[in-house]
Structure 1
Amino acid sequence: MEKKILIFSKLNKVKISPYKVRLIVNLIKKENLLNILNILKYTNKKASKLLLKTIESAIYNAKNNFNIDIDNLEIYKIYIDNGPIFKRILLRAKGKFDKLLKRTSIINVILINKNNGTKS
């Protein structure tokens, strides 16, 4: 039986709201890896470029560290966490102010190698 190997890739403190990244993650759910790469390549959003960068990093980790072919890889899990929030103020009339919350994200991608008909 071939062991399943988990390959991680993480992108920290990205200056984009987690909500915007999760929209793109929902777009690529339940697709195979090659379709995901094509969808992300031709989607015109900042989040798609960041996700593509993180997934390609995980693919290169699998190739270099474990000698796994790209055809044997599939996405196990993608999850987006909240990063640190930078708090700023926006000055208003009559000595008042509004809060500005500059949100950041942490993008985590986990790949797994599939079993190709190996017997246990």
Structure 2
Amino acid sequence: MQAYAIAKAVRISPYKVRQVLPLIRGKKVGDAMMVLRYTPKKAARLVEKVLKSAVANAEFNFGMDVEKLKVVEAKADQGPSMKRFRPASMGRAHAYVHRTSHITVTVAE
């Protein structure tokens, strides 16, 4: 049995989140929480929040034992991009994009 949690349209690029995810894949939930707590990146805080949600889903929806849970899958997909324009010289405008992520964490016994 697997339980998962998804955070959608999080205001951080998937590239930055993917730097943190290999640190927790395949680890026990307690070890993964410890690693994320001491990782000095914004993405670590966001992934920790999703991991806590996945553990809560496993415990309350499926009755799984929290001590036996492992992180089976952790991924970050591209979310919707917010397109904005900044004024430039000589009446022009330069486009830039705010990228967002969909962070998914799956846990299982």
Q: Normalising to structure 2: TM-score of the pair?
A: 0.93
RMSD: 1.2
- Written as runs of structure 1 = structure 2, the 5 A alignment for 1:64-79 is 64-79=60-75
Structure 1 residue 65 displacement after superposition: 1.3
Which of 102, 106, 111 is the equivalent residue of 2:102? 106
Structure 1 residue 101 displacement after superposition: 0.3
- Written as runs of structure 1 = structure 2, the 5 A alignment for 1:12-91 is 12-91=8-87
Structure 1 residue 67 displacement after superposition: 1.6
Distance 1:62 1:29 in 2: 17
Question: Identity of aligned pairs, percent?
Answer: 34
4+ residue runs over 6 A deviation: none
Asked if structure 1 preserves the Cα contact closer than 8 Å seen for 2:25 and 2:73, the reply is no
Asked if structure 1 preserves the Cα contact closer than 8 Å seen for 2:5 and 2:106, the reply is yes
What are the ranges of 5 or more consecutive residues in structure 1 without an aligned counterpart? 114-120
Closer, same or farther: CA 30–65 of 1 in aligned 2, 3 Å: closer
What are the ranges of 5 or more consecutive residues in structure 2 without an aligned counterpart? none
Distance 1:67 1:45 in 2: 32
Highest CA radius of gyration, 1 or 2? Answer: 1
Structure 1 residue 28 displacement after superposition: 2.8
Asked if structure 1 preserves the Cα contact closer than 8 Å seen for 2:75 and 2:104, the reply is yes
Structure 1 residue 79 displacement after superposition: 1.0
The more displaced of 53-62 and 22-31 is: 22-31
- What is the aligned residue count? 109
Closer, same or farther: CA 63–30 of 1 in aligned 2, 3 Å: closer
Q: Normalising to structure 1: TM-score of the pair?
A: 0.85
